[in-house]
A and B are shown apart, each in its own frame.
Chain A
C-alpha cells in the first residue's frame, strides 16, 4: 500500500536556535533572532506542543478552509484508517505521522479536490500524503535549524484495518488528536535522533 518512499536528505551542521519560521520566503514575514546552540539544547522548544498546533492550524486553514481544535479527550479511532508518514532526516531523524479514520480521510480529500469520494482510493491516499507532507514542512519550518538542515522524505501512505504502527524509544514524541467539523485525526511528531 505504500505510495512511494523517497530518499531522506540532510546534513549535520552547527545550529541556530529560534522558535519560528524565518527567511525571505516566509509568507508571514516572521523573524527570529538566531542564537547559536545545539539542537539538543533547544529540545524544549522543538518539543513544544504549540508548534504542532500552529502547523496543523495553518495547513488546515490555508489548504482546506477548516479550523481545527486539539481534543483533550480523544475518541477511539475507526477500525479502517489511513496513515501517512513523512520521514525526517539530517540533524533530526524521525517522522511526522498523520492518522485518520476513513471518513475523515474522505472528507479531507473531497475538500482538497472538490470531488466526492465513497472509498479510500489512490487520490485519497495522495491527498492525505500531501497534507502530512505540508504538516511536516510547516512544523520543521518553525525552527530555522530544522528548516535548513533536516530533509523530508516523500510521503508513504498506508490504508486498512489490520496494521500496527510501532515507534521505538523516541527522544521525544508529540501526539495530539485534532477535530474539524465532526471528524478527528491524530498527528504525531516522533524524534528518534538529534545531532
Chain B
C-alpha cells in the first residue's frame, strides 16, 4: 500500500497492544515502527522524543486515561497533526462524543476485527 507508518499504541494491557499491532498489519498498514505505552502519561513522555503518524489508545487506563491523554495532545497542538483512534470496551454514544470532543478522530469498540481497523484507521492515514 506504499506509505510506511509509525504507530503508537497506548493500552495498559501488553496483550492488547500486541493484538492491536497485529490487527494494524492485517488491515494492510506497512508499519515502520510501533511504539508502546501503558497509559497516557507514558505516551506523552514518549511523544516528546518520538514522531509518529498514528496513535491508537484505550480509554480505561491507570495514571492517565485515554480521554485525558487526547486532551493533553490537543493542548499541545498534536491531535490535529496526528490522528488518534480510541480502541475501547466503552461503547455508548456519550463516550464517543467525549472522545471526539477531546480530539480523537476515530473510535473502535472492543472486541474488534482487522476489518474494523481497516475501515476506521486506513482513511485517517491517507490509505483507502
Chain A residues at the B interface, C-beta cutoff of 8 Å: 4, 6, 21-27, 58-59, 62-63, 109, 112-114, 123, 126-127, 129-130, 133-134, 136-138, 141, 144, 147-148, 152, 154
Contact = CB atoms under 8 A, between A and B. Distances in A.
Q: Which of B61, B62, B92, B94 has the most chain A CB within a 10 Å cutoff?
A: B92
A23 B96 contact: yes
Q: Which of B12, B111, B116 has the most chain A CB within a 10 Å cutoff?
A: B111
B15 A137 contact: no
A120 B95 CA distance: 34
Contacts of A144: 92
A24 B98 CA distance: 13
Interface string B31-46: 0000000000000000
Contacts of A24: 93, 96
A163 B116 CA distance: 39
A17 to B, nearest CB: 15
Interface of B: 12-16, 18-19, 22, 60-62, 88-96, 107-113, 116
A134 B96 CA distance: 17
Given A141-B91, A154-B62, A126 B14 contact: yes
Given A4-B62, A154-B12, A133 B89 contact: yes
Contacts of A21: 91
A154 B91 contact: no
Given A113-B15, A133-B60, A147-B92, 16 more contacts: A6-B60, A23-B92, A25-B91, A27-B108, A63-B19, A112-B15, A114-B22, A130-B13, A133-B89, A134-B110, A137-B90, A137-B91, A138-B111, A141-B92, A147-B90, A147-B91
A181 to B, nearest CB: 18
B62 A6 contact: yes
Contacts of B61: 154
B15 A134 contact: no
B93 A22 contact: yes
Given A4-B12, A130-B15, A148 B92 contact: yes
25 contacts: A4-B62, A6-B62, A22-B93, A24-B96, A25-B95, A27-B108, A62-B111, A63-B110, A112-B15, A112-B18, A112-B19, A114-B22, A123-B15, A126-B14, A129-B13, A130-B13, A133-B60, A134-B111, A138-B111, A141-B89, A141-B91, A141-B92, A148-B93, A148-B95, A152-B60
A29 B126 CA distance: 25
A21 B93 CA distance: 10
A109 B92 CA distance: 28
B85 to A, nearest CB: 11
A152 B89 contact: yes
Given A4-B62, A114-B22, A148-B92, A126 B13 contact: yes
Contacts of A6: 60, 62
